[in-house]
Amino acid sequence: MLPSSMPSGLTLLSEAEAPRAHLGESPRWDGHAWWWVDAAAGTVWRRTPGGSAELIADRGGRVSLCQPVPGGGVLIADDTVPRLISRTATGWRVGGAWCAPLVPAGWLVNDGIVDARGRLWIGSVHPDREAGAGQLIMAEAGGSPTVVRDGFALSNGMAWDPAGTILWHADSGERIVWAHQIDVAQGRLVGSTVALRLDASEGMPDGLASDPEGGLWVALYGDGQVRRYVDGCLDRVIEVPTPQTTALALGGPAGDELLITTAREGFDDRRSVAEPLAGRFFRARLRQRA
């Protein structure tokens, strides 16, 4: 049975707006509609404001990324191969391989983001989640991927700063959010510093988002929270009524909505019934500042 009220400032989306997911991930706003994936089920979803969720693709396997790209279309990470979903006269079409496979067979790719020139920046995860083996990868359409940095435990969410030159990047395994300085014109990493380090007693930083004021939004997996940081200092906390908070995105017609995804990873049927909010989607309305 669902609770009669939500934490302050939070709205539970209906099943029609966003069906319950096993592993809700990678929410994105493309300027007209919301996109997201159920990474475990391999499904890709889209919803226009005020409308119902539309199943765009069912890939039958893991899909870890859903990312609008410059010029139109949405890039997904279909197992280890990126593919572009584009609109045709008869509906949506999933294209062939957008570039060469990102990682060897057995490895995983996780969350990622594109830059202003349409390059994909995405993280890899070792098959055994071996600490330090994960990589940050850059790929271009039709090309071969390039490893730009390694040493990550569990590469996760990414977000650009307002200038589009700092790539914030969560390593969930180490509870660190990195700030990578990127030369976007050349498509190369210039340097990296630690933007945020969380304590072992806190949840893991998972999905990331940024706002026009330079705030960094972090989904805390395990703690049921979304936090906003400014220059490394905690500025705001949104409580989410289920612990596996996975990802978030800013968008909506007025740019004042925060879409939050959650998961029910590792749940058996009994726990899934006992915790009906796990895997549901939430919306927070953010007050716009002058």
Q: What's the pLDDT at 8?
A: 79
pLDDT at 289: 42
Q: Is residue 1 part of a domain?
A: no
Q: What is the average pLDDT across 100-125?
A: 95
Looking at residue 9, its pLDDT comes to 84
- pLDDT (tens digit per residue) in 133-164: 999 999 999 999 999 999 999 999 999 999 99
Range of the domain at 35: 10-285
Is the pLDDT at 71 greater than 90? The verdict is no
84 occurs within a structural domain: yes
pTM of the model: 0.95
Residue pointed to by tokens 């997904």: 76
Distance CA 146, CA 135 (A): 10
* Mean pLDDT, the chain, whole residue set: 94
How do residues 2-44 score in pLDDT, each as one tens digit?
665 678 789 999 999 999 999 999 999 999 999 999 999 999 9
For position 129, which CATH number holds?
A: 2.120.10.30
The CA-atom distances, in angstroms, between 62 and each of 25, 159, 247, 280 are: 11, 22, 16, 19
Instruction: Say if 104 falls within a structural domain.
Output: yes
Question: Residue 67 domain-assigned?
Answer: yes
Q: What is the largest CA-CA distance in the chain?
A: 53
Specify the pLDDT at position 233.
96
Query: What is the pLDDT averaged over residues 66-76?
Result: 95
Q: Round to the nearest angstrom and report the end-to-end CA distance of the chain.
A: 40
pLDDT confidence of residue 201? 93
In sequence order, the 6+-apart residues with CB closer than 8 A to the CB of 122 are 65, 77, 82, 102, 109, 110, 111, 112, 113, 136, 137, 139, 158
Q: How many domains does the chain have?
A: 1
Percent of the chain past pLDDT 70, that is, above it, reads 97
89: which residues sit within 8 A by CB, 6+ positions away?
none
Q: What amino acid is encoded at 42 in this protein? A: G
Tell me whether residue 129 is in a domain.
yes
CB 208 within 8 A of CB 246: no
pLDDT at 2: 64
Task: Tell me the C-alpha distance between 89 and 156, whole Å.
Answer: 35
Let me know if residue 3 belongs to a domain: no
Q: pLDDT tens, 230-286? A: 999 999 999 999 999 999 999 999 999 999 999 999 999 999 999 999 999 999 998
Task: Specify if 5 maps to a domain.
Answer: no
Distance of alpha carbon 89 from alpha carbon 25, whole angstroms: 28
What confidence tens digit (pLDDT) does each residue in 159-199 have?
999 999 999 999 999 999 999 999 999 999 999 999 999 99
Segment 211-232 mean pLDDT: 97
Q: Please give the helix or strand (H or E) that residue 260 lies within, else none.
A: strand 257-262
